[in-house]
Amino acid sequence: MEENKYQLLINTLDSLINEAPDELTRYDTSDEEKTNQARARALIHLFLRTRFGLIDFVEAEKFITDGANDGGLDAYFIDKDHKIIYLVQSKFRTKEENFENNAVNGYEIFKMELSLIVKDGNDTDNKGNKFNGKILGFQRAIKELADTIGKYKYCLVFLGNIPENLDPQKLNIASGSVCEEVEIINGKDTYNKLLLPYLQSDFYNKKEFVLKIKINQNQSNRINYSVKIKDQQVNINVSFIPTIEVAKMMWEYKNSLLKYNPRCYVGIKNGGVNQQINNSIADTDSNEFSLLNNGITIVCNDFEYTERNAEPNSATLLITNPQIVNGGQTAFTLAKIYADKNHKIFENKEVLVKFISLNQKQTPDQVRLIEKISEATNNQTPVTLSDRKSNDEKLVELQKYLFENHGYLLERKKGEFYDAISKDIILKERVITKEQIMRLILVIQRKISEARGYSSAKLFESYPLGTLDLGDFINIYTIVNIYKKIDKLELSTNKQDEKYRTKEYGSGLKYGKHAITGAIFHSLKNSDVDSVLADISSRWVDFETTIANKESNKDYFDEGFNFQNYYRGKTINSDLVDYFKFTDIVQ
């Protein structure tokens, strides 16, 4: 079955449901109605997980109030760092065609009784029914904030589609004028802001998050200085940080800390734990690691140091929006040790961390500066040109386009969707790598030989995506779709002739997929892909017979015709033009 965005969402919700303990009977999926109810509740879990990092299912369940006598409040979350209380109302659509387009009935909005819950503190609704235990628990949580509640503001979050003519602020009025802010996460936003980050293992897609790290204040382990770059004031703090704090941070936040790193968490993982890093911390009881390791570079929006934390011999670092731009493998190795529960290894061992604080909200100039820092600090590590292109602005836009419009997942960083694939949320055929994209763009540009023959290094050195604009993205989708169809023609067998269907396609499926893709793409005109694919496929053996008898291809004979070399050779481009009669291919 071809996966679209809605199916990916359903797969994700079902995966979340599978995390529910057996005693939570609300997640029973024994019939269709119960399954839909469980998925509706799992959608709230998805929101809590991606927005607030609540990855523990049981912990997140405490904040879900949906049920009988809930006063129209489906969930809440108290963000103590930023002094915001989120009130969540969710409307899940069980059919794909309704998920992005079908607005909620206005009556549903007026069912929210937030004023009674939050302002009046009533323990019963308008009909005299006692609020459920979760709502009463929420009221108790608010009362516990009595000394600071004046510093909090309320935000109403509506997961669903509202009528086009309804001002979001009127939604707040209809619910009792409790909230200072209203956020609508409609069907399209659910895909882009909740689903895609989840599939990328980016569970912490908040505007800001703060990390608290305990350090030993008895040593002079901090250096502060600042520099001015153009009109940006950049503050730099260099500190020795306990290795266990870095390990916990990396293990919990994973890809959320690597947005500007050329590799994702699993990409680093696939490179293997650096044994030298591992040995330098595991094979000694002293703090040699602080001397032997090159350290970690973290870019952040703000950095604060305080000793007023009511804890003896320690201080606290508050870091806003941290991103590891260098030292990812060090952080990963420490996280792997932490995950293996070898916590004793970390005792009295520190790592040098350079915090670069940009002291402003993210701007295009700031992003460019971060990317410069990332590139400069990774110069001495084996980071490929392919890795360096992972955060290219146009590649990011293409990833967004392919997912938002066609449900394809472009893997910008190796292993980006590993967790979702391993959980059977994503079918591998819906993922396409950036290297495949570059080769297919060359096919669009009618450079079939180059698409087959370029090494990865040369491919990203030429970087064909750089010459395209947003209007060309539809062609990229079209050719990806063609290539995926051709990929499916292979049969699952170890017998070469059967696997590559040589009687029907000759050596085409084995060595010439880019050539077949190009022939179809450049023959489309106004025809549909399937009919052109059928036509090209029926003629492919004849194409190979014809070109094998051409004088210009005599160099490919070596105990038979060498199709492996031919499909990346100098004549394939012109041969396709001559045989299939489409416009000139660039030589």
- Helix then strand then coil, in percent of the chain rounded to 5, is 50, 15, 35
State pLDDT tens for residues 62-107: 999 999 999 999 999 999 878 999 999 999 999 998 898 888 765 5
Residue 299 structure tokens: 């870019």
Q: How far is CA 19 from CA 12, 45, 93, 538, in A?
A: 11, 11, 22, 48
Q: How many residues does the chain have?
A: 587
Question: Residue 211: pLDDT above 70?
Answer: no
State pLDDT tens for residues 255-303: 778 877 777 765 565 555 567 888 889 888 888 898 888 899 998 888 8
Residue 1 confidence (pLDDT): 40
State pLDDT tens for residues 21-49: 999 999 999 999 999 999 999 999 999 99
Domain boundaries, the chain: 5-199, 210-383, 393-580
pLDDT band at 376 (very low <50, low <70, confident <90, very high): low
pLDDT band at 587 (very low <50, low <70, confident <90, very high): very low
The H or E element containing residue 322 is: none
Question: Tell me, what amino acid is at 321?
Answer: N
Question: Residue 492: pLDDT above 80?
Answer: no
Residue 310 structure tokens: 């009511």
Rounded CA separation 95/89 (Å): 19
CA angle 508, 566, 460 (to 5 degrees): 90
Average pLDDT over residues 472-494: 91
Residue 223 confidence (pLDDT): 83
**Cα dihedral value 256, 259, 263, 265, nearest 10:** 0
State pLDDT tens for residues 423-466: 899 988 889 999 999 999 999 999 999 999 999 999 999 999 99
State pLDDT tens for residues 307-361: 776 777 677 788 888 888 888 888 888 988 998 888 899 998 999 999 988 866 6
**Cα dihedral value 55, 57, 62, 67, nearest 10:** 130
Rounded CA separation 72/111 (Å): 6
Residue 470 confidence (pLDDT): 84
Average pLDDT over residues 469-490: 93
Q: Which CATH architecture has domain 5-199?
A: 3-Layer(aba) Sandwich (3.40)
Least confident of 7-16, 296-305, 488-497: 488-497
Under 8 Å between Cβ of 155 and 181: yes
Question: Residue 213: pLDDT above 50?
Answer: yes
Under 8 Å between Cβ of 414 and 328: no
Residue 389 confidence (pLDDT): 84
Question: Residue 368: pLDDT above 80?
Answer: no
**Residues whose CB falls within 8 Å of the CB of residue 501, separated by 6 or more in sequence, listed in order:** 489, 490, 491, 509
Distance of CA 20 to the CA centre of its chain: 23
Long-range contacts from 555-561, C-beta under 8 angstroms, 24+ separation:
none
Residue 559 confidence (pLDDT): 83
More confident residue, 8 or 387: 8
Average pLDDT over residues 105-111: 62
Under 8 Å between Cβ of 215 and 246: no
Scanning the structure block, which residue is given the tokens 């169809």? 485
State pLDDT tens for residues 151-201: 999 999 999 998 877 777 777 777 778 889 999 999 999 999 999 989 987
Q: What string of DSSP letters covers 92-128?
A: --SSHHHHTT-PPPHHHHHT--HIIIIIS--SB-TTS
pLDDT band at 585 (very low <50, low <70, confident <90, very high): very low
Rounded CA separation 275/344 (Å): 18
Residue 130 confidence (pLDDT): 95
Residue 380 confidence (pLDDT): 45
Residue 143 confidence (pLDDT): 94
Residue 441 structure tokens: 């763009």
> Across the chain, what does the average pLDDT equal?
86
Q: Which residues of 218-256 are buried (b: 16+ CB within 10 A; e: fewer)?
A: eeebeeeeeeeeeeeebbebbbbbbbbbbbbbbbbbbbb
Provide the greatest CA pair distance for the chain. 92
